[in-house]
Each structure stands twice: as C-alpha cells, then as structure tokens.
Amino acid sequence: MFRKITSLTSFFSFIVLIITSVVLYIVPQGRVAYWADWTLLGLSKEQWNDIHICTGVLFIIISILHIWLNWKPILAYLKKKAGEANFTSPAFFISLIITLFVTFGALAGLPPMKQVLRFSQDFKAMGEAKFGIPPYGHAELSPLQIFCKRLGLDLEQAVTSIKKEGIELESTKKTIKSIADKAGLTPKEIHEIILKDQPDKKKSLKKTPATPNNEVQSHSPGAGIGRMSLEEYCAKFNLNLDTALNILREKGVVVDKDTPIKEIAKSLGLSSPRAIGELLNP
C-alpha cells in the first residue's frame, strides 16, 4: 500500500510539475506579468510559481522515498554481478554524459539548450509587446503619491482622472495595485487613466526617442536587455548591426549577431549590460 501511494504521488506530482514548468516557460517577465495583472486559467504568475515550488518539494520528498523503497533494483542497474559495482558500463556513462551536457550546455549556451532558452525569451518578449513594460520595477506596489512623484506626474490631476472614471479612491497612500484591484482593472490601465489628462507628460513620452540611455532611465530596474541578442538590441534601439560588430571588434571582442548582450558586456569587463549603450551609441 505504502509503495503504491508513493509511486502514484510521484506520478501525479510529476504531471503537475510538467504543467507548471510549461506555464512558467512561456509566462511574461515578472515585472510585465504583475503590471498587466497576467493570469492563466484564473491563476497569476505568483500562484503558478507557488504551485511549482510546493509540488517540486513534494516531488523531491516522494522521490527520496521512492529511491529508498527501490534501492535494491537501482543498485542492480549499477552492478555487473553480485558485489561488484559497475561504474564503467555504457549505460552509466551515457546517462551521466547526457545529464552533464544539458547542465553545463545551458550555462555555456550550447545547442539545443540555447534554442530552448531563446524560445522562452521570445515568448517573454511577446508578453512585453502585448502587455507593455512598467515605468520601473514593481511600480504597481507604489502608493499613488510615490508613483506620481517618481514619474513627475501631477498628483492632484491624477486623483481627478481616477475619480472621473468612477473609481473610488480613499487615499493617495493606496498602492496602484490596490486601486486597480478595487476597480477591476490592471495597474497598466490605471497608469493609462492617470496619463489621459496630463498632456505635457504624454507628449514628452511620445517624443522621447528609443535609445539605450532612455531605456535605462525609463525602465532602469531591468528591461531584459542582457538577454537580448546583439541583433535584437540593435533593432530595438535603431542601431546598425554591422557598425556595432565593427565597434566591438575594435575593442577586441569578436561576436556574432546572436551573442547575448550580457555575454558581450562580460567580455568587455562592463559592470552592467546597459553600459553597452554608451559604447555602441556614444
């Protein structure tokens, strides 16, 4: 009975882990998911992550029990004959090599791990394009008065704009998320409401060119720059790819269009991927 419960629990928790892994693989970046109040099947990214972590812990515990209950069969795989451990069999080495290849290949950016990670990044980039990027990290957790102060917005006008939409606002100390939740909106939609009656701010936002330096100012807590390939980076900031490659070669760094910005920054000894902007767009 105990053995059967262990096996079935291991199986079911493994199924749940597969589902949550797929969801977390395609979910937008945290800052985007929280800003747009992203959900899938009614669950937020945080809830999917909680399920993944707790089920993962369950799977680890059950796996340990499963190994303990099946220790003799496992040892049989590693033995050539009774009493002699077989750590030189083809099966042992092939299994070990596959595991190490995937583990270290992910760190080194080797195919197909590189393509798997890039595919996930593409999904997350689609999320950014669809839901937008918050003005700064966890902006949704800022009280309205702090939010307006950080963005240089008129607080009184922001309050007027919110109330004009029929949204109840008890205090400017309420966070953007709490205001949005009460109104049945997303933090992004509250931001758009606030901007409606602040034409000067809207105009300045539209006129601001998309350059690496502007990106740092408006999205300084990380806009995924490090994960972009050089080609994606140049396309985003209207830079010439060939010129960028030549500049990097002059600095002694030989890369290609698919090299991630964080790797280029590391090769140049830069403290942050964002510093690439000053180099490629002086």
Which residues are CB-contacts of 132 (< 8 A; sequence separation ≥ 6)?
32, 35, 36, 188
Determine the pLDDT at residue 225. Answer: 73
Q: Exposed, middle or buried by CB within 10 Å (0-12, 13-18, 19+), for 165?
A: middle
Q: 102-135: per-residue pLDDT in tens?
A: 888 888 888 888 888 888 878 777 777 777 778 8
Predicted confidence (pLDDT) at residue 199 exceeds the cutoff of 80 = no
Q: What is the DSSP string of 179-234?
A: HHHHHT--HHHHHHHHHHT-HHHHHHHHHS---HHHHHHHSTT--SGGGSBHHHHH
Q: 129-165: per-residue pLDDT in tens?
A: 777 778 887 889 999 999 999 888 999 999 999 999 9
Q: How many other β-carbons are positioned within 10 Å of the β-carbon of residue 227?
A: 20
Predicted confidence (pLDDT) at residue 216 exceeds the cutoff of 60 = no
Q: How many other β-carbons are positioned within 10 Å of the β-carbon of residue 256?
A: 9
Determine the pLDDT at residue 146. Answer: 92
Determine the pLDDT at residue 78. Answer: 66
What residues does each domain of the chain span?
Answer: 2-131, 139-206, 212-280
Cβ burial 33-62 (10 Å sphere, 16+ → b, else e): bbbbbbeeeeeebeebbebbeebeebbeeb
Q: 245-261: per-residue pLDDT in tens?
A: 888 887 887 788 888 88
Predicted confidence (pLDDT) at residue 84 exceeds the cutoff of 80 = no
Predicted confidence (pLDDT) at residue 52 exceeds the cutoff of 80 = yes
Q: 4-21: per-residue pLDDT in tens?
A: 888 889 899 999 999 999
Predicted confidence band at 72 (pLDDT cuts at 50, 70, 90)?
Answer: confident
* 136 compared with 177, residue with greater pLDDT: 177
Predicted confidence (pLDDT) at residue 95 exceeds the cutoff of 80 = no
Which range among 63-77, 93-107, 191-205, 243-257 shows the weakest confidence by mean pLDDT? 191-205
Determine the pLDDT at residue 86. Answer: 58
pTM, to two decimals: 0.57
- Computed over every residue of the chain, the mean pLDDT equals 80
Helix axes 113-131, 90-108, angle to 10 degrees: 40
* 243 compared with 59, residue with greater pLDDT: 59
Predicted confidence (pLDDT) at residue 273 exceeds the cutoff of 90 = no
